[in-house]
C-alpha cells in the first residue's frame, strides 16, 4: 500500500527539521539545571546572610564596594563555577541519553552551530559580569547574567526547539525587572535559572520526551 501524499510530506518535513535543528535536548536536563541553580542560590543566600540591608537600593550607590567582602565574592564565584559544571554535566548526560534513544548524534554540525550561538553571548556576559564585580557594581551582576543568558538562548534557539527562545525572552524580562528593583537581583536570578528551568523542563519532557 503506497503512502498518502500528506504522509510523505510530513516525513520530508521531519527529515528537514532533524537536519536543520538539534532536537535531542531533554526536558530532564532543564529540570536538573533548575534544581542545581536553586541549590546554588540557597547557598548564596546563606553565605550572604541575606537581610533587610540588601533590599535597600540606596546602600548600593553609597557603599557597594564594601557591601560584600572579597573573600565572600571568591566563595560565591567558586560556588557559581560548581553550579555551572554540574548543570552542564547534567545537560550532557540527559541529552546524550535522549539522542541515543532517538538514534541521533549529539555532536553534529547543527549542535555545533547551536553551541556556538549559545556560548558567544554567554562568554561576553561572563566577562561583563566579572568587570562589574571588579568595579564594585555588585547589584548589577545578577540582572546582567539573566539578560545575557536570555540573549544567548534566543540566539541558540534558531538551531533547536522554539521553546528555547520563549525561555530566553522570559530570562530577559526577569533581567530587566532585576535592573528596576535593585537589591532583589538574587531573587530574580533564582527564579530565572531555577524556577523557570524546572517549569520549562517539565513542559519539554511531557511535550517531547515521553
- What pLDDT digit, counting tens, does each position of 2-48 carry? 555 555 455 445 544 444 466 667 888 899 999 999 999 999 888 87
The pLDDT, as a whole number, for residue 136 is: 78
- pLDDT category at 77 given cuts 50, 70, 90 is confident
Residue 199's alpha-carbon distances to 33, 104, 181, in angstroms, are 11, 26, 24
**Of 74, 68, 71, whose CA–CA distance to 49 is shortest?**
68
Within 8 A by CB and 6+ apart from 35, the residues are: 194, 198
Identify the pLDDT of residue 16. Answer: 47
Judged by phi (left if over 0) then psi (alpha if -120 to 50, else beta), residue 40 lies in alpha
Q: How far apart are CA 56 and CA 52, in angstroms?
A: 7
How far, in whole angstroms, is CA 101 from its chain's centroid?
24
CA distance 29 to 90: 6
- Phi/psi zone of residue 3: left (φ > 0), alpha (ψ -120 to 50 degrees), beta? beta
Nearest C-alpha neighbor of 37 from the set 199, 155, 159, 203: 199
Beta partners for 160?
A: 22
CA angle 3-159-161, nearest 5°? 65
Strand partners, 22: 160
C-alpha span between 134 and 115 (Å, rounded): 28
Q: Is residue 144 within 8 Å of residue 124, measured between CB atoms?
A: no
pLDDT digits (tens, 9 = 90+) for 103-157: 777 777 777 888 889 899 999 999 999 998 888 788 889 999 999 999 999 998 8
Q: Are 173 and 146 in contact (CB under 8 A)?
A: no
pLDDT at 170 > cutoff 80:
yes
CA dihedral 198, 203, 206, 208 (to 10 degrees): -110
Based on C-alpha coordinates, what's the Rg of the chain?
20
Amino acid at each position: 500500500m503506497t503512502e498518502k501524499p500528506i504522509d510523505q510530506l510530513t516525513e520530508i518535513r521531519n527529515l528537514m527539521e532533524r537536519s536543520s535543528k538539534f532536537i535531542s535536548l531533554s526536558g530532564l536536563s532543564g529540570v536538573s539545571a533548575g534544581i542545581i541553580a536553586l541549590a546554588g542560590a540557597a547557598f548564596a543566600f546563606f553565605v550572604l546572610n541575606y537581610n533587610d540591608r540588601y533590599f535597600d537600593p540606596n546602600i548600593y550607590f553609597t557603599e557597594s564596594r564594601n557591601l560584600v567582602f572579597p573573600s565572600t565574592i571568591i566563595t560565591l564565584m567558586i560556588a557559581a563555577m560548581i553550579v555551572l559544571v554540574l548543570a552542564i554535566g547534567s545537560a550532557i548526560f540527559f541529552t546524550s541519553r535522549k539522542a541515543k534513544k532517538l538514534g541521533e548524534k549529539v555532536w553534529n554540525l547543527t549542535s555545533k552551530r547551536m553551541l556556538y550561538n549559545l556560548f558567544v553571548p554567554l562568554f561576553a556576559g561572563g566577562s561583563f559580569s566579572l568587570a562589574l564585580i571588579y568595579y564594585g557594581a555588585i547589584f548589577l551582576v545578577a540582572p546582567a547574567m539573566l539578560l545575557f543568558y536570555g540573549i544567548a538562548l534566543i540566539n541558540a534557539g534558531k538551531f533547536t526547539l522554539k521553546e528555547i527562545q520563549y525561555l530566553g525572552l522570559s530570562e530577559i524580562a526577569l533581567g530587566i525587572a532585576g535592573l528596576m528593583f535593585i537589591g532583589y537581583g538574587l531573587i530574580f536570578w533564582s527564579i530565572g535559572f531555577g524556577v523557570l528551568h524546572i517549569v520549562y523542563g517539565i513542559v519539554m519532557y511531557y511535550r517531547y520526551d515521553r
